[in-house]
Structure formats: C-alpha cells, structure tokens
A and B are shown apart, each in its own frame.
Chain A
Amino acid sequence: NGTLYLTATHLIYVDASAEVRKETWILHHHIASVEKLPLTTSGCPLLIHCKNFRVAHFVIGHERDCHEVYTSLLKLSQPVKPEELYAFSYNPKMPKDSREIGWKLIDLKVDYQRMGIPNDFWEITDANKDYEVCNTYPPEIVVPKAANKATVLGSAKFRSRGRIPVLSYLYKENNAAICRCSQPLSGFSARCLEDEQMLQAIRQANPGSPFMYVVDTRPKLNAMANRAAGKGYENEDNYDNIHFKFIGIENIHVMRSSLQKLLEVCETKSPSMSDFLTGLENSGWLRHIKAVMDAGVFLAKAVKEEKASVLVHCSDGWDRTAQVCSLASLLLDPFYRTFKGLMVLIEKEWIAMGHKFSHRCGHLDGDLKEVSPVFTQFTECVWQLMQQFPCAFEFNERFLLEIHDHVYSCQFGNFLGTCYREREALKIFEKTHSLWPFLLQKKQEFRNPLYKGFTAYKELKPNTLPFSFQFWCGMYNRFDKGMHPKQCVLDHLLNCMSQKMKLEDNATDLENVSPRSKSTLESFCFKEKRALPNS
C-alpha cells in the first residue's frame, strides 16, 4: 500500500507499509511500455515495462485515476520533440565552466595520439568538416595518408550513406589496423576505382602483411539479398589481396525480437528449470551474444596473430560494426578496460561514428522497428568478458549497468540524437551535461577491487565455447532482488579496499613521524610532514 506521484521527470512510488520509507523512482524516459490490465476486485492494475528491465506492477483503486495515470505516462514516456528530453532541463547546479570542462574530458584526438597517429601511414583529416563526405560521421576522421581527397570522395560515393573506410583502431606494435565502413554499392557488378584504391591504401599502411581482411558481419544470405538493391559486398577479384569473410551476426530486427523472447522468459513466474532453459535457447539471445563475441575474437586474432589489417562493415556500419570494432579494441588494448578507456571507446566507436542511439533506444516517439538492443549486447559482451577475466577490468558490473541506464535516461547529452551533426544541431554541448564526469565522481563504487592494473593482462583471449556464456541475471532480472546472491562480495571487497587505503594513508603519515612516544607525536606538526630518521 502506498502513494504514486508523477513529477515532470519521474514516477515516484512511496511504500507506506514499510517501516522505513521506501521509494521507487522510475524515470519517464525509462518507461518502454504502459499497459492497463483488466479490472480486478482490488482495483485497476497498471503494468509498466522499463528499458532497464524493471517491471512495475501497480494496482490503482479507482479506474478513472488509473486511466489518468495511464494517459499521462504514455505522453510523458514518449516525448515528441528533442527539447522535451530530460537532458535539456537537468540542472545539477554546477558552474558553467565545469560543465564545459566536462565535455572536454574525453578527447578522441588524445586516443589517436596514444595509437601513434598521426604517423607515416595515417592522418587525422577534417575532410568531413562540412559533412561533405558523410553526414553521419564526425568532422574529423582518420584515413590512410596515401588516400587523397579524390580517393576519399570517390569512395564515399561507392559506400552506403557515404560511410567510407576510416580507422577505428591501430595496433601500434605491428601496424595492423581495424577500419570500419558501410557496405559497398556494388550491386551485381559495379566497381569503384577510388574505393579499390582506398582499400589498397589501408592494406599498404600495414607493410608487414601482404593481405588484409574484409569482414562482412552480416549473414551471407542477407548480404547477397542486398545486391539486388544495388548494395552488397566486396568482390575479391576487384580488390588487390583482400581476404573476404562473412560473420553471420543477425540484423536489428532479429535482435529486437530475440530480446523480447528473453524478457518473456525472465518474467515468467516460477518457471521450471526446463521452461527456463528451453526459453533461453529459443530466444536465441546467447547465440547472438556468442556471434558478436566470436566476431570480436576473430578481429583481435587477425590483428594480433596474423598481423593483418581488417576492414569491417555490415549494412550501414553503425550497429554490428560498432559492436565488433569496439569489442576487438577491448580485447586488444588494456586501456579500454579502464574507466577512462571504456568512456573513450564508447565515445569513439558508438557516439562519434553515428550509432543511432536516439532510434535504437526509442528516446522519442517514433518507429518501433528502429528500436534494437545493439548497445545492450555490447554491454553484455563486456560483462561476459568480466566473468572470464575477473581481474582485467578497472570497473565493476555496476559501472556497466549505470552506463546502460543512462543510454536510455536522456539525462545527459552524450547519447541524444543519432550522429555528431545532429548533436551539434541540438546544441548539446551548450545546453546539456556530459555523463562521464558524473560517473567519475562515483568512481569508488564502480571500482573493481580485483583489478590487477593496466599491465597485468595484455590482450584477452576469451573462451567462446557455448558453456562460457552465462545468462546475465544482474541485467535482465536486475530488479528481482530475490534471485541474486544473498551476500554481496563486491561491497565487502570495496570495503576492504577503502580500509586498506585508509591504512596506507595512515602508514604514510606514520612513516613521517617518529614512533618514539605519544608526546612527540602530539607535539609534531602533521601538516609539514617532516621526516625524522627512524629510531
């Protein structure tokens, strides 16, 4: 028994029966669907499904009240205009310049510098500054030095939506690169000299390898069907020394319906073990997660072991391509397994490269067929890796869940819109806050106490046999507290860590004073921290 409140941003439920005041806050943007169920004797039930997989069930005494709440929630959860999004009204009372500094926290140029770019083979160009090459790419892109402007523009005409091959990650140790693009407009026989030159330039930017991979992350059948529409995939005969390969990751529609089935299984009331496992299998969810992981592993292996560059695409190159490229980077480079690194990776491969967060997450009232859990799958792949390598990540599961929450919350500007150009038009850098500084403030609770540091593991080689993939209860049944381990190892270890840090602080203090007697200690000025010789 409790009270329901609707505010401009949240639905708040206050449980009156609990001894301690218990509040449940649901952000309107988190609401995926609201359903009115048939009237019962106790009242009118309202079922709310959230994008972070919370399921809330309210029973409202009067039908009229229920209907009003229902219609309000429908409106509040599906804003029509971007200006209605929470980010534009969210005001954490922060000075203007810290908000601006917040947006500068992640600088992709620094990451390219870390990879050694610019160098003899790669350059950062502003060829796209007026979105002349591609309107869903950022103004600055990394392309081979050998590719001149004509090559870039020519290739853009031959790639779906102008999404030309650009660098995603350079493995400094052997010059092998991961590049990404969209599908070529090859149809059944079309060719493009500039596009062929572009690929050649990428291959030659890695002198150590005589060939490069071109990976189409779609199932072969889908790619072939695209040829009829004048799109398709690279013909090995037209490009010098490419090894072409399909990796069958299904499209956004298959993924959407797979998640739907998974959630139905998760919501079933006390299912038998057989119901659950059969449902898990039939949803296909873990099969899709494995497909993404397999693709990431293939890329990482090609780069690290075969020393070959890889060009990755799917159809438009903003869903599967983003998943696979970011996963491969995470496997290859320990930097991306740090707080800062994961932020950079998401900014670089997802936000900057035009993953359509607004559409995929259904931020605004729009086409439901555009909604798909592509980023959720990436988040899960990271989690699966954390299960296999508990000491390899600086952050813990809560960090992933928090990011996932905010991808949908629209509280921060980072994930608004569909691409850099749109975000510019929305003036998010002027009007909204960035998520990242906000997360860094809470770093202590997101820390992985088992993290062994940057140098402990270089590249990760996960086991991708089916049994290595686990159902992520912490995500899909996150709010069913009864299902989780009843004692929290993470909290305990975080406690241990903070105690240890306190101790170490004390120890440093003590090292600086003589342990001779209490009086000397007291007479000592701590602020100066003068060192005395140990007696």
Chain B
Amino acid sequence: MEFAELIKTAKVENVQLSCPGLPPIKGTLCITSHHLLLSSQPGGNGEQGTVELWLLIRNVDAVEKRIASSLGTITLKCKDLKVLQLEIPGMEECLNIASSTEALSSMDSVMMMYPFFYRPQSMKLKDGWQLYPLQHYYQQIAAETSAWRLSCINGDFTICSSYPPAVIVPATVDDKVLQKAARFRQGGRFPVLSYYHKKNGTVMLRSSQPLIGPNRKRCQQDELLLSTVLDGGERGFIIDTRSAQAAKQARMMGGGTEPKSSYPRWKRLHRPLERGRLLQESFIKLAEACNDTSLSMDRWLSKLEGSKWLAHVKAALSTACLAAQCMEREEACILVHGAEGTDTTLLVTALAQVILDPNCRTLTGFQGLLEREWIEAGHPFHFRCAHSAYSHARLKQEAPIFLLFLDCVWQLGRQFPFSLQFNERLLLVLFEHTYASCYGTFLCNSEKERCLCEVKEKTHSLWSWLNQPSELNTHLNPLYTYNALVIWPSVEPQSLQLWQGLFLRWIRSSQYLDEAWAEIHRLVTSCEDAPEESAGRTLCHSQPGAAYPLTITGTANEG
C-alpha cells in the first residue's frame, strides 16, 4: 500500500494544537492515510480521550514548518482557509509529520482519495447519485414544448469528452448535424440547452468557442443548429465572456467567435470575465489581506481593492443580469460561451438561472442546478480546486470560479433575504466540499472521468448526506418564502459586500450573528405557530444557524 510508505511517523505524544480563538490543547497526534487526528490527554486542557482534531489531509493546502532546537512548529493552512498550528516535540517527528502531510495532501490520483474509502454505516453507496437526472429536467421542458429533444449522441463520450452522455438539443436537428457541429467547437462542446424560460419560452444555450481560426472557417451544421433555435424573424444574443479583442485574438490559436456574416440573426455582446490565473491570484490576495490583522484601515481598503475580488463579483453578477435581461425583458434566446465553455460560461448560465427561476432557489432546485450546470456540464473541479488560497505550489489550472459563483449567490441572498430557501451554511459546505470532501460529488473533471473512476459506484454522494433530515434542517433559511419573481440584484459597489462568513470565518467570531439568527428563527417560528396568521407565508422550519449576514436595515426597498 502506497499510503504506508508515505507515513514515516504515525503517532506523536504531547503535541500542542492551537487555532485562533480557542485555548491550545495538548494531546496525541496520529496520522492515517487520510486524516490527522489529535486526541487530548490527561492535563491537556481537553477531556481525556476526546478527539479534538479530525482533519482531512486533503484539506491541507500548505504546510509550513519551523524548527527551534528540539521543538518543531507546523502551521497547517487549510483549503477552507482555516489555519492550525501544531507544536511537536522532537525535530525528526516534526519533519516526518510535515513531509507525510504534504505528500498525502497533494496526492493526485483520484482513486486514492478519501471518498473511495469512506463508508458511513447510515448511508447506502448508490443513494443520491440519481437524484437529478437530466431526463427529469428534460421532461419539464417537454411538458411545455416539443421543440427540444434529449439526445444520447454522447453516450460513449466520443463526441465531447466533457459533456454528459445526454444533452438537450433542438428537436429538428438530428445527431448527424450535431456530430459535425461538435467538430467546429472547442472540445466538441456544441451548443446545448442550458435553461428553458417557461414564462416566455426563450432558451439559454451554452457551448465553447467556434473554431473559426485564422482562415475564417465556417460550419454549416453549427449555423443551422443555432438558427433552428430562432423562430421566423427572431433575433438572439450571443454573450461572449471574453473581450472583443481577446475573442478576435483567439482566432490565431484556432478559436474565435461567431462572425456577423455567418450568424446574421445573432447579436454578439462581449462581457469579459476573469478566469484562470488572474482569478486565483485575486483569491490569494484577498485571503492574504483577510489574514493580516496588522493592517490599518487604509491598507485594508487598499488591499481589498487590490485583490479585485469584489470587482469580479460585480462583473459576474452584471453579466448574469445581462443574460437574464435578454431573456426576460427582450424575450430573446441567448447563447453563452467564452473559450472552453467550462468556466465563466457556466458561471453566467448558472447565475442567470438563480436570478430568473424560483425553482433554482429552493434547496433541491439549487442542488439540481449544481448537478446540471456545473458537475455534468463538465466544470473541471479536480483541476480548478486542486489548491486553495494558501498553497505555495506552482499554479497549474487552479481557479476559484465555483467559489465566485457561490459568492454571487450569497450576494443575491443578502439582497433578497426571503428568496433563497437555503442559508449561508449550505454555501460554506459546498465551498469546503469542492476543495476537500469525503463524498465523491465534486471529484474529477467530467462525467467521463467519473465513469472511468466509478465514482458513482464507489463513493457516496454529497446530496444524499445533505438531504438527510437532520442535515437538511441546518441549511434552511428561516425567512424563506416562495418568490415567483425574477430577483434583479443591484450591482452597485455600495450593494456588494465582502463575504465575511467565508473569508473571515476563522478570523472573527460569529457568536453574536449566530445568536441573532437564533433569535430570527425563534421569532419566525413563534409567529408561524399561529394557524390563521401563517396562511399568507410559507416558511420553513429550520435550526438556528448562519443564514445571511444581517442587514436588519430600515431602508430596504420592497421588490
């Protein structure tokens, strides 16, 4: 077994654990293939034998060690942004623990990861994997219109390695056309349906960039596929998540964007969104600023600005609003793509749906959205979330696109405190589990890889755990009431806030905010208990807990 070779010292006595805000604890440190454990010992500030630390090693983003004579200090910086310190007696032990943690945390092989070994007694392996099949989503559309069909053209992943086996396409376009169109799109990601807007029958499509190339190639099938979507004289919008210049430059590398001449009924709008390295660096800078408690007010604001994180939040929300506006107000169909169509594209399509569709704002609807628009749609979670904000490793393909999405959803929840059924805690759980998890849901980069690794057979689904009644209750927003309207957020800088619950989670105490949420919960439920009064509002029962940051402001605007 590979693990055993990596573990040089399995157990150390008299290790002191400290993390901010808590008194240090002494105990016995054990390292297993997937966990670091610390159980307190007599006189170690904790109750004897209690396990004080149960850390998934995959969660460790960076290991920093400092040796002073015979005492070594290891700082573990975690992917969920928590920072822990271990004081280990004995230089050799310290070095061994550090190197084992480092090696075990950076193991790249998916099938060696913890989800393949995690076997909780209360759960069944197969549960949760078939909760949100695309067929189900398709049936909802089919009930409204016959213009769309479910194609299994990608059944063996040969047409597009990052698409799921089934996709939703125009009914009149046959698989042969799709096959040709796929060859004209990067990675084979031909335009497929992402969202059907029941209210007016418009649709949102997504794809990757067309392979126009320097010779201005055209593809009849791709043009056909897109024009089929538009009725008669209708016009559609293409939202390209790159700048006009970047899209043009992509031609040199064989990509490009739809020229007016070949797609006359589609109007192109360029809304550049950052991704890749620049986004990762933004995340790193923000985490750094949040962890530096020595900053003056001016330095803090300057670093917050310099990280550009909130600018990315604003840009993402603005673009999603634009997409939603095209559909809701212009009553037009839209196609969204950037380059690969697996990052900013999904950010925009998923966010637009939260804004437009009340079903995506329920707990199960949101899970379905994540399953459909992120996991099955082929967002490369394995690459993007390999490291978080603290890692010293050379950046490869890491980028917190999904975190940016969660942040935007959090901003929506802050501006519409009654409109999301779930609370902040759910968003935090999702963030944690994309970076390190005992469940298989966010493993791999695509459905194809998940199939090869047998993720759905050999690991548990995050959803089946989340949906257990005891867990579910802690993720509900006590203020939720169904809101059929589109939720148009304000994207003014004054309306967007730093997501303290995530970025400052381990740095500032949330005791008083938690108490406030408990109070809200108490108030809302006590008011609900009155039978005649609850008629107008359907509020869900939930445990007190972190939902949205409290803006109990008097100046809200009824929407």
Residues of A that sit less than 8 Å from B by CB: 266, 270-278, 280-281, 284, 286-287, 290, 386-392, 396-398, 401, 448-450, 452, 463, 465-471, 473-474, 477-478, 480-493, 495-497, 499-500, 503
B298 touches A387 (CB 8 A): no
Given A277-B310, A280-B301, A485–B417 Cβ distance below 8 Å? yes
A486 touches B553 (CB 8 A): no
Give min CB distance, A214 to chain B, whole Å: 25
B417 touches A487 (CB 8 A): yes
Q: Which residues of A contact B556 (CB under 8 A)?
A: 484-491
Give min CB distance, A296 to chain B, whole Å: 16
Asked whether any CB of chain A lies closer than 8 Å to the CB of B554, the reply is: yes
Q: Which residues of B contact A450 (CB under 8 A)?
A: 516, 519-520, 523, 552
Give min CB distance, B322 to chain A, whole Å: 14
Given A471-B494, A503-B530, A487–B554 Cβ distance below 8 Å? no
Q: Which residues of A contact B250 (CB under 8 A)?
A: none
CA distance A250 to B556 in the complex (A): 33
B552 touches A490 (CB 8 A): yes
A474 touches B302 (CB 8 A): no
Partner of B553 from A280, A392, A484 at Cβ < 8 Å: A484
B552 touches A273 (CB 8 A): no
B550 touches A387 (CB 8 A): yes
CA distance A277 to B299 in the complex (A): 11
Give min CB distance, A270 to chain B, whole Å: 7
Asked whether any CB of chain A lies closer than 8 Å to the CB of B498, the reply is: yes
Q: Which residues of A contact B347 (CB under 8 A)?
A: none
Query: Nearest chain-A residue to B305 (Cβ)?
Result: A277
A485 touches B553 (CB 8 A): yes
Q: Which residues of A contact B416 (CB under 8 A)?
A: 485-487
Q: Which residues of A contact B479 (CB under 8 A)?
A: 489, 492
A281 touches B555 (CB 8 A): no
Q: Which residues of A contact B533 (CB under 8 A)?
A: 499, 503
Q: Which residues of B contact A387 (CB under 8 A)?
A: 550
Partner of B551 from A290, A480, A485 at Cβ < 8 Å: A485
User: Which 5 residue pairs are nearest across A and B when measured between Cβ atoms?
Assistant: A486-B559, A488-B556, A398-B554, A276-B493, A466-B300
A-B contact pairs, 14 of them (CB 8 A): A273-B305, A281-B297, A387-B550, A390-B516, A450-B552, A452-B519, A465-B295, A470-B497, A473-B555, A478-B555, A481-B557, A482-B492, A484-B556, A486-B558
Give min CB distance, A267 to chain B, whole Å: 11
CA distance A398 to B553 in the complex (A): 8
B552 touches A484 (CB 8 A): no
Q: Which residues of B contact A448 (CB under 8 A)?
A: 552
Residues of B that sit less than 8 Å from A by CB: 290, 293, 295-302, 304-305, 308, 310-311, 313-314, 414-419, 479, 487-490, 492-498, 500, 504, 507-509, 512-513, 515-516, 519-520, 523-524, 526-527, 530, 533, 550-559
CA distance A387 to B550 in the complex (A): 7
CA distance A388 to B526 in the complex (A): 25
Q: Which residues of B contact A278 (CB under 8 A)?
A: 302, 305
Given A499-B533, A500-B527, A286–B311 Cβ distance below 8 Å? no
A452 touches B515 (CB 8 A): yes
CA distance A299 to B302 in the complex (A): 29
Q: Which residues of A contact B495 (CB under 8 A)?
A: 473, 483-484
Beyond A450-B516, A487-B559: 16 further Cβ-contacts under 8 Å? A278-B302, A386-B552, A391-B512, A397-B554, A448-B552, A463-B508, A465-B293, A467-B508, A469-B297, A473-B555, A485-B556, A486-B487, A487-B417, A488-B556, A488-B557, A489-B418
Give min CB distance, B192 to chain A, whole Å: 32
Given A467-B300, A467-B508, A493–B513 Cβ distance below 8 Å? no
Q: Which residues of A contact B304 (CB under 8 A)?
A: 277
B519 touches A489 (CB 8 A): no
B290 touches A467 (CB 8 A): yes
B554 touches A474 (CB 8 A): yes
A482 touches B557 (CB 8 A): yes
Give min CB distance, B61 to chain A, whole Å: 21
CA distance A459 to B415 in the complex (A): 31
B301 touches A273 (CB 8 A): no
Partner of B301 from A392, A466, A491, A499 at Cβ < 8 Å: A466
A272 touches B493 (CB 8 A): yes
Q: Which residues of B contact A463 (CB under 8 A)?
A: 508-509
B555 touches A397 (CB 8 A): yes
A-B pairs under 8 A by CB, number: 193
CA distance A500 to B557 in the complex (A): 24
Q: Which residues of B contact A492 (CB under 8 A)?
A: 418, 479
CA distance A398 to B554 in the complex (A): 5
CA distance A312 to B372 in the complex (A): 62
A287 touches B512 (CB 8 A): no
CA distance A449 to B554 in the complex (A): 12
A467 touches B500 (CB 8 A): yes
Given A482-B492, A503-B530, A489–B311 Cβ distance below 8 Å? no
Give min CB distance, B130 to chain A, whole Å: 35
CA distance A482 to B497 in the complex (A): 15
Given A487-B417, A489-B479, A391–B519 Cβ distance below 8 Å? yes
CA distance A400 to B373 in the complex (A): 45
CA distance A32 to B509 in the complex (A): 41
A486 touches B557 (CB 8 A): yes
Q: Which residues of B contact A266 (CB under 8 A)?
A: 494
B527 touches A487 (CB 8 A): no
CA distance A287 to B300 in the complex (A): 10
Given A450-B516, A499-B533, A467–B490 Cβ distance below 8 Å? no
Partner of A391 from B314, B487, B516 at Cβ < 8 Å: B516
Give min CB distance, A309 to chain B, whole Å: 29
A467 touches B504 (CB 8 A): yes
Give min CB distance, B549 to chain A, whole Å: 9
Give min CB distance, B541 to chain A, whole Å: 14
Give min CB distance, B517 to chain A, whole Å: 9
A281 touches B302 (CB 8 A): yes
Q: Which residues of A contact B493 (CB under 8 A)?
A: 271-273, 275-277
B498 touches A397 (CB 8 A): no
Query: Nearest chain-A residue to B412 (Cβ)?
Result: A486
Q: Which residues of B contact A495 (CB under 8 A)?
A: 527
Give min CB distance, A274 to chain B, whole Å: 6
B558 touches A468 (CB 8 A): no
Q: Which residues of A contact B520 (CB under 8 A)?
A: 450, 489, 493
Query: Nearest chain-A residue to B488 (Cβ)?
Result: A486
B301 touches A474 (CB 8 A): no
Task: Kindly name the residue among A401, A465, A468 whose own CB sees the greatest number of chain B CB atoms within 10 A.
Answer: A465
CA distance A275 to B3 in the complex (A): 51
Given A277-B305, A465-B508, A396–B297 Cβ distance below 8 Å? no
CA distance A478 to B555 in the complex (A): 7
Q: Which residues of B contact A473 (CB under 8 A)?
A: 494-495, 553, 555
Q: Which residues of B contact A467 (CB under 8 A)?
A: 290, 300, 498, 500, 504, 507-508
Task: Kindly name the residue among A401, A449, A473 whose own CB sees the greatest number of chain B CB atoms within 10 A.
Answer: A473
Give min CB distance, B232 to chain A, whole Å: 35
Q: Which residues of A contact B504 (CB under 8 A)?
A: 467
Query: Nearest chain-A residue to B289 (Cβ)?
Result: A467
B301 touches A281 (CB 8 A): yes
Given A278-B305, A281-B305, A499-B530, A401–B554 Cβ distance below 8 Å? yes
Q: Which residues of A contact B550 (CB under 8 A)?
A: 387, 390, 489
B555 touches A290 (CB 8 A): no
CA distance A35 to B512 in the complex (A): 45
CA distance A492 to B527 in the complex (A): 11
A466 touches B290 (CB 8 A): no
Q: Which residues of B contact A493 (CB under 8 A)?
A: 520, 523-524, 552
Q: Which residues of B contact A274 (CB under 8 A)?
A: 305, 308, 311
CA distance A244 to B416 in the complex (A): 50
Q: Which residues of B contact A480 (CB under 8 A)?
A: 492, 494
B515 touches A391 (CB 8 A): yes
Task: Kindly name the residue among B296, B492, B498, B520 whose own CB sees the greatest number of chain A CB atoms within 10 A.
Answer: B492
Q: Which residues of B contact A284 (CB under 8 A)?
A: 298
Give min CB distance, B404 to chain A, whole Å: 14
Q: Which residues of B contact A401 (CB under 8 A)?
A: 554-555
